[in-house]
A and B are shown apart, each in its own frame.
Chain A
Amino acid sequence: MKKVSKFSREILLFLGALLFLSPVYIMFVNSFKTRAEMYENVLALPQELTFEYYAGAMHRMNFITAFGNSLFITIVSIIFIVTLSSMTAWMLARTNNKLSKIIFMTFIATMLIPFQTIMMPLLQLMDQIMRATGIPMLNTRGGLIFMHIGFNSSMAVFLYHGFVKSIPKSLEEAATIDGCTKFGTFWRVVFPMLKPITVTVIILNVIQIWNDFLLPSLVLTSTNLRTIPLSTFYFFGEFTIQWNMAMAGLTLTVIPVVIFYIFAQRHIIKGIGEGAVK
């Protein structure tokens, strides 16, 4: 008797979770349906698998280009964030003076600033820099990456700083005595030890940068530079909505996320927990 009730609870929990994800199911099945079929029943499985709407959505969203842009921007930003934040955080954590404390507190304090407070002056400043130096800050992938680094480094510095404080100094001191420069000590001795928190930093930033919409929408104006959220936005704005094609487009944008989730699930859940609790 008790076994049966446990089994039914298992099933109930699983069905509950499936029901929770039903919007994803509805999105997926309707990406294959004709309009008539959709109208008949949105919840039913499609009668036949046609990839017609996927082809249309890929073409209209310029999906391959957008995917490439998103991938490039996310990866390069994260390489810089990890490198620069870990170096800075280590220096700040190991230098015990007023200046390093002030710098660290500034990083923390600015985490309070919502993006909307900075967005307009940021664009003005980037425009001024562009005109003064000729460096193309606006409407370039490089400029966007530069800004992603600026916005996401505080959190990374904060996480790295906390982690560095928890590892012993003795290994670094030994390396210094053996004649290692600070640079060598950091990359050969310290950085490998930071691996767990590096994984957390990478995960949090992948989610943040991949999905970011507002910053790229302000910085990028050329069609061929659009990231996935941007091309989705314009895809919905430019045409009267053809829901089957729209669902195909949305499914396309969700696929990379699901693949990433399947491969990094354990790290993601751990990373979210750590990132939030600290």
Chain B
Amino acid sequence: MKLRKNKGWFILFTVPLLIIFTTVVLIPFVMGIYYSFFRWDGIGANPMTFVGLENYTRLFGDNRFLDSAWLTVKFTILSLISVNVIALTFALLVTTKLRTVNAARAMFFMPNLIGGLILGYIWQFIFSDAFRIMGELTGFETLFFNWLLSPDYALYALVFVFTWQMAGYMMIIYITGIQGIPNDVIEASTIDGASYWDRLRKIIFPLLMPAFTICLFLTLSFGFKIYDVNLSLTGGGPINSTELFALHIYNEIFGYSRYGYGQAKAVVFFIIVAAVTLSQVYMTKRREVEM
């Protein structure tokens, strides 16, 4: 009797969310794998042709796809470095004993709250107008020109804006790590006459390893999935020089109406993201055991 009653409560508490979750996430995910084996233009009245694995084998000869994949890797690696270097610098700055640290920390974090789409538009203006005028004013026209118009520089513009957006977020995680370092360790090293650089290299960095792992992989996963900033800052241009993975998939499906082929790319995208994230979990777990 009691058991059945408990079962009733279990159903009452969990089923509403499970229904929503299944409809929104689980079923579409399975459908997505199914669609990736078909050729279809997305129009309900038109036939879906089963093509087996053809959508997947076609990927290897698709230069736009391979370019986009390479760009995404390049973007992610560059962002990984710049976001974390800057975030760590910020975190070290705002954990000093200065009185302005709280204000500075709040200001460094601020860009993260503004949505990616809006950030992209703000920076579009800065690159196209403010940079030009700053170039005229300072004479550094080789640096201050409209990066967004140059196929070589547009990707760096994207890295730049992404760094501006994410540095504050990663800073918060590094701060949590730094504050977790026991004070006596730092004091002991100061008494022993260690320089700031020694302390950083021999004490702070090794003790920050867990924070490093989290930040590196969060940047990796956010970088890989970037969409909003990409859309509003460059829109993939000029000449597809900044069409990253997520935007490429969107364009393939909804732009060129290649629903089946685009979906195969989306499935590959999932596999890459899952592999990266799972290796993160694996490495974090292994490190936890060591400590």
Contact = CB atoms under 8 A, between A and B. Distances in A.
Interface of A: 6, 9-10, 13-14, 16-18, 20-21, 23-24, 26-27, 30, 38-39, 41-43, 84-85, 87-88, 90-92, 95, 100, 103, 106-107, 110, 112-122, 124-125, 129, 146-147, 149-151, 153-154, 157, 181-183, 186, 207, 210-214, 229, 232-233, 236, 243, 246-247, 250, 253-254, 257-258, 260-261, 265, 268-269, 272-273, 276-277
Interface in B254-291: 254, 259, 262-263, 266-267, 269-270, 273-274, 277-278
B125 A125 contact: no
B29 A112 contact: no
Contacts of A100: 10
Interface of A is mostly: helix
Interface stretch (B77-85, B103-111, B150-158, B201-209): B103-111
15 contacts: A10-B100, A13-B101, A91-B13, A91-B14, A114-B270, A114-B273, A117-B29, A121-B27, A122-B24, A125-B23, A182-B13, A211-B115, A213-B231, A246-B121, A272-B112
A150 B24 contact: yes
A253 B246 CA distance: 25
A183 B9 CA distance: 8
A43 to B, nearest CB: 7
A21 B218 contact: no
Contacts of B32: 117-118, 120-121
Nearest to B272: A114
Given A116-B246, A233-B117, A88 B17 contact: yes
A242 B29 CA distance: 42
A38 B130 CA distance: 9
A88 B24 contact: no
Contact of A253 (B118, B228, B262): B118
Given A182-B9, A273-B176, A18 B20 contact: no
Given A23-B123, A43-B130, A112-B277, A146 B27 contact: no
B100 A87 contact: no
B133 A42 contact: yes
A24 B27 CA distance: 42
Contacts of A92: 14
Interface of B: 6, 9-10, 12-14, 16-18, 20-21, 23-29, 31-32, 35, 42, 93-94, 96, 98-101, 103-118, 121-123, 125-126, 129-130, 133-134, 137, 164, 169, 172-173, 175-176, 214, 218, 225, 227-228, 231-232, 246, 249-250, 253-254, 259, 262-263, 266-267, 269-270, 273-274, 277-278
B18 A88 contact: yes
B104 A229 contact: no
A273 B118 contact: no
